[in-house]
Structure 1
Amino acid sequence: MKKKERYDLILEHFREKMPLVTTELDFGSTFQLLVAVVLSAQCTDKRINQVTPDLFAHYPDAQSMAKAEEEDIFEWIRSVSYPNAKAKHLVEMARVLMEKFNGEVPSTLDELLTLPGVGRKTANVIQSVAFGKATLAVDTHVFRVAHRLGLVSKSDNTPYKVEMALTKYIPEEDIPNAHHWLLLHGRYVCTARKPHCEKCEIEKYCAKIIS
């Protein structure tokens, strides 16, 4: 099966089965989305959604969080992975937002990358979910599923290479959704340790079935 044909079949499946899709993180503003995405690194969305209601009740925006100390934030996020580092990043990030962006989350990649704790994956999520841009964040789920399905080659061995390979073949209008399609497929079907191939509706297009 040619790569373009595989893309066409898989994308058509997702368009039909998951036309309305977005992040599973709970948030009430772009700032809160940014905080949630930073917290979600190497942690489940379920855990983050348990933590953020109380965190946002005390620090709903950049202005309030910029006035906090790291130990204040730590108390609300201590159950997430790497709470010390994330508390430091969140306080510093809020302060940079106040100093450079008037408390508003910027929309461009270059500006987002100036924020403490924000890397390319996080920046792409924010651009896509908050601003509707055609950016595709590559996390561990997207990376794994893209390789297993045969959407990328073995030489695409970094998140950036996978991102470039995927965006080459995925139509621009599908790119914001494609991140969630692949992520959710990896989270619930094509899981890391034991993929549930028996309930996978796109197994017939998978690279392990058709090379």
Structure 2
Amino acid sequence: MAPYHHGSLREALLSAAEKILQREGINALTLRATAREAGVSHTAPAHHFKDLTGLVSALAASGFARLHDFARAEASAAETKDQLVAHARGYIAFARAHPGLYKLMFRSERLDWDQPDLASAAEDAYSLLTPASEAPLAHDRPGQRSIADTMARWSYLHGLAMLLIDGRLSAGMSMIPGADEDLLIADLIARLERLHRPSHP
């Protein structure tokens, strides 16, 4: 069995689970397969995860935390002052880099949303779609307009991410001679600015 440093079993299992997810998909992900991939005994996962739901929920929490990091890193490096658009670039970059993990993060039937780490990480990532300057209007019930704006952005980005992951964007572009996917994605993200404009009563 491959050795792992004391105290890092949990991280080793999560890393192993992600490798299986990326290579073979969610249906191949089991506790036994994860233990085998990590090079530990089949009973080892029980030290950190009660069941497979616990493992995939922890993996999804890690995914949301990394999505948040991608978005913040893009915003730090961005030339534009529009942080929302920069965050959107990071969001799509994460989805393209980790398609299997991204899809898992939205498989609610496989996740335990009562796990604090998962709920907190998802909330942090979600908050990037709501600019700090976008305070709820006084007559908002409660913040209904700002919530709708955030959900519109999320719907837009999630739809784009899934089209990319499933290859549907490439399929559509194949009918357009000379089309460039990266340029199209940049243009689609730039159009998100329309959803950034404050709502009016």
**TM-score, normalization by structure 2:** 0.29
**TM-score, normalization by structure 1:** 0.28
| Larger-Rg structure | 2
Greater helix percent: which structure? 2
